[in-house]
Amino acid sequence: MRSTFTGAAGAYRFTLLAGAACLAMPGAALAQDAAEPTVDDPESSNVIIVTASKREQTLQETPISVSVTSGETLEQAQIRDVLDLQTVTPSLRVSQLQSASATTFIIRGFGNGDNNFGIEPSVGVFIDGVFRSRSAAALSDLNMVSRIEVLNGPQSTLFGKNASAGVISVVTKEPQYEFGGQAEVSYGNYNALVVRGEVTGPITENIAFSLDGSYNRRDGYARITNLNTDVSDRNRWSARGQLLIEPTPDFKVRIIGDYAKIDETCCLVSTLVAGPTAPAIFAVGGALDTNFFSYNTFLSQKPLNTVDNYGGSIQADWSTGALTFTSITAYRELKNFLDQDVDFTSADVVTETRDQEVTTFTQEFRVTSDFDGPINFLLGGFYFDESITQDSRLTTGPDARTFFALLTGNPATFNGVEAGLGLPQGSIFSAGPLTAEQYAMDNTAWSVFGTVDFEPVDGLVFTGGFNYTDDKKDFSLAGQAFDELSNINLVDAFITGATVANPMLPDVFTRAQFQALPGAVQQQLLAAATNPATNALLGLTPFQFQPPFLSIPNAVEPGQTRDDKFTYLLRAAYEVSPEINIYASYATGFKASSINLSRDSRPAFGDYIPGPGRSSFAAPASPITNAGLGVANLGTGSRFAGPENAEVYEVGFKGQWDGFGFNLAVFDQTIKGFQSFLFTGTGFQLNNAGQQSVRGFELDTTIRPSDSLVFTFAATHLDPTFDSFTESPVGDLTGARPGGIPAWSLATSATHTLEIGDNKLISRVDYSHESNVQINNGLPTFNTALGNTRIFQREVNLVNASMIFQLSNGLEVGAWARNLLDDQYIITVFDGVAQSGTVSGYPSQPRTYGGLVRFKF
C-alpha cells in the first residue's frame, strides 16, 4: 500500500497519532507504535502498530515488552541521538565513554561491548531491519525517524544475532508519493548548531524518493586547560537517500543508501582521586584537576576520533494470497580511528592510536502468513559475514622515563638497571613506540528462525518459536613490545647472572639449561630469584606492564571459535476484553563467543602455565612451553569469552481505555556466562561470569484528562544478582548485586497542546530518575587496596523541557533545554592508567539549551 502522509496537514494527523502513542510511556509507548495514517483514513489515529514480532500487530495483540518512541516525540523532546533515548525509556541505559565511538547499550542491566571490536554487544541494534554489529555504526543523529522500538529481554528467536539482552530497532520514514518535507535549524549554548532537512516526493506513478541529511556541530562543553582548546564537542554529519519502487500493488522494493561522518574531540575524563603517583606527574611538569565537575582537564594532546559509517540495503516485499515474502540485503563499512592521551594528564607519558575497519554483509529472508484459520506462521533465515581489521599502538612520550623512574623512588634507577643488564643507556621507557598490534577477525553466522501462532478460540493465542544459530569466528592477533625492560624476565635474569657468576655452576641462558640442573640447585636458585631481599630487580615488576605478545593462531591455539545453539519461545496470550490483554511467556536467548581483540589477550591457564614470577626457566610443562612458543613474561588470561545463554520468564498485562492506559510486565531473567569486560588499570580482562540474574517489573500509566493534556509515568524496577562470578577482577562476587544497575528507573512527562485559532502551542516537560547505585563492584587497583570499600555511587535526576509554536502554514518556532536543572553525576569510574591509587571517570554532560525554527511543507 502506498502511503500518502506528508506536509503540514499530514503532520497534524501524525501529531494526534503520536498523542495516542503516548498512552504508555513518557513520549513513548509500551508494546505499541504509531502507524503512518493515510489521508483517506481519518480514524487511523486510533490504530497503534508495532513490528517487534516482525509482523504488524496492534497494541492489544502484541505480547512483548517493547517501548516505542515516535518521531514526533523525538522532535518535541529534542532527542538527537541514541544517547538521549534513555530519558524516555527506563529499561534502557546508554553510556558514551572513552571516545565518540565507544558506546554501551544496556537493557534490564545487561549489556557490553563498548571498547573492543571483538566483543559484540548483547543488545542488538537494527536500523530499517539491518543489523549494526558495532555501536560505532549506530551513532548517527536520529533524522527522518518514524519510530524507535526498544525490545526488552532476550529476543534471539527472531533477532538471532546478539540479542541475548534485547533489541533497539530504528525505523525510518519511507518515501511518499506526495511532495513534501521539512527543514530545521537549531542553535544553542556552546555554539551548538544543528541543521536538518528532508524532502520526499514522486518520481513516477510507482516510484517515490526521499533525501535527508543533518549537520551537528557544537563547541566542547569542557576545556583542556594547558592546550587552551575544547573537548567533548560535536562535529558530525549524515546523508541518506531512498527509493520506493512499487511496480504492482503486491510488490514493493525499498532501496536505502547512507553515509555518516564523525570527527570529534572526545571525551572528557576527570580525576576523582589523585593517588600517590600524582607528585611524580607534577615533577615532570604535568598537571591534573581534582575538581571532578570543573569540566577542566589536562592532557598532553588533543584526543581525536573519526568515524566513517556507510552502506546500503535493499528490502523487497511480495504478497501473494495469504503469504508475504520479505528479503533484506545489506552491505556496510565502518572505519574508526582514534588518537588520544591515555594517562589523562598533561604529562606526556603514553598515548594510544587505533585504526579499525569493519565490513559487514547480511541477508535476511522470511515468509509470513495471514490465514483466516486458527494457525499462522513466520519462517525465515539470516546470514551474516563480517571482517574486522585493527592496527593499534602505544607510544611513550618524553616524560615517561622520568615519571616511572620517580615512582621507583630513585630517579637514576633505570640507569643502574640498564648497566646491570647490559642494556643501552636511556633505553628503558625511551620516547617512541611502546607496543604495536595487528588484529583480524572473520565472522560468519547463519540462523533459521520461525514462529507458529495457534488460536483455538477467539482471543486465545498459543505461540511457539525457535531459532537455530551457527556462528564461526576465525581470528589472528600479533603484537610487538618494544620496551627493553618488559622483554626481560627478572627471575630468569637473576638466575642467569647467578650462574654466570658462580664457576661451580654451568651458565644458564635457556629453560632447557635450567631444567638440566639438579633439582636441589633449581630450588635454591629459584628461591633466591623470587625473594625481593636477594633479587632487587623484582621491584621493577610493576613496570613490565607491556610484555612481549604470543601471536595467535599458533601450534597450540587455533584462533577460532565454533558455536551453535537452538533457542525457543513459548507463549500464551489472551484477550480478556477489547480493552484488556494478558500474556505469559518463556524464552531463551543466545550470543556467540566474543574475542579479546586487544593487547591483553593471553593464553588460557592450562595451555600455558607460567613459572614463579612469570619465569620461563621454571615454567612447568604445558602445550605452549612444550611447543617452544613461550615468550618472556608470558602470563595467562583469556583469548575469548564463551557464549552467553539467556532465559526469561515474563507475564504481562495491557489495558487501554479512553483517557487511561496501563501496562505491566513482570520478569525473571538470567544470563549464564555473561561476557564481562573490565579495565584493571593497565589492561582489560575478558571472561565469563558464571551466572547473572535479574528480577523486576516494567510499569507505565497514562492519564489523558482532556484532548490537550497528557500525563505519563513509567518505572522499571530491577533486583539483579551475581548468582555465580568467582573470577571477577575484584574477587569472588557470587551473591553480590552487580554494580551500575539502579533499583529504580523512572520516566515521566507532561505534554500540553494549546490551540490558538489554527495554530498550536505544544509544551512538554519530562523527568527521568535513576536511584542511587554503586557504579561498579569496586576497582581492581583502587578498591582492592582499600578492602573493596569506598565504592563510588551515582544518582541521576534529569529534567528536560521544550515549547514549540506550530503555525498552520507549516512554520514552527520553539525553545528547548536538556538537563534543565544542571544535574551532575558520575557516569562511570576506572583505575588511573599506570597510576596506582588514582581514580579517573566521566562526568555527566552539563545543561544545554537553545531555540529552533522548523518549516514543514
Size of the chain in residues? 857
17 pLDDT more than 60: no
- Whole-number pLDDT of residue 613: 95
- Whole-number pLDDT of residue 433: 96
Strands 251-264 and 304-320: antiparallel
pTM of the model: 0.89
CB-count burial class (<10 Å; 0-12, 13-18, 19+) for 777: buried
Instruction: Please compute the mean of the pLDDT values over residues 15-35 and round it to a whole number.
Output: 35
The whole-angstrom separation of Cα 102 and Cα 376 is 42
The whole-angstrom separation of Cα 853 and Cα 857 is 13
Share above pLDDT 70 across residues of the chain, in percent, rounded to a whole number: 92
Window from 25-39, 516-530, 544-558 with minimum mean pLDDT:
25-39
Candidates 741, 821, 841; CA nearest to 289 is 841
Who contacts 463 (Cβ-Cβ below 8 Å, separation ≥6)? 63, 451, 452, 453, 454, 569, 570, 571, 572, 573, 585
The whole-angstrom separation of Cα 287 and Cα 403 is 13
82 pLDDT more than 80: no
Half-sphere exposure of 849 toward its Cβ, with a 13 Å CA cutoff?
Answer: 12
Residues 548, 552, 556, 561: is their CA dihedral positive or negative?
A: positive
Tell me the pLDDT tens digit for each residue of 437-473: 999 999 999 999 999 999 999 999 999 999 999 999 9
Share above pLDDT 90 across residues of the chain, in percent, rounded to a whole number: 72
Instruction: Please compute the mean of the pLDDT values over residues 557-585 and round it to a whole number.
Output: 95
Window from 104-108, 582-586, 667-671 with minimum mean pLDDT:
104-108
The whole-angstrom separation of Cα 478 and Cα 476 is 7
Helix (H, G, I), strand (E, B) or coil at 132: strand
Q: Grid coordinates representing 314? A: 535493499
Cα→Cα distances 184→81, 193, 516, 600, 772, Å: 16, 11, 79, 46, 38
The 3 state secondary structure assigned to 177-236 is CCCEEEEEEEEECCCEEEEEEEEEEEEECCEEEEEEEEEEEECCCEEECCCCEEECCEEE
Residues 238, 21, 14, 759: is their CA dihedral positive or negative?
A: negative
Amino acid at position 63, single letter: P
CB-count burial class (<10 Å; 0-12, 13-18, 19+) for 630: buried
Q: Using an 8 Å Cβ cutoff, are 466 and 435 in contact?
A: no
The whole-angstrom separation of Cα 137 and Cα 260 is 9
Other beta carbons within 10 angstroms of residue 162's beta carbon come to: 28
Mark out the alpha helices in 598-663 (DSSP H runs). Answer: 623-626
Tell me the pLDDT tens digit for each residue of 290-344: 999 999 999 999 999 999 999 999 999 999 999 999 999 999 999 999 999 999 9
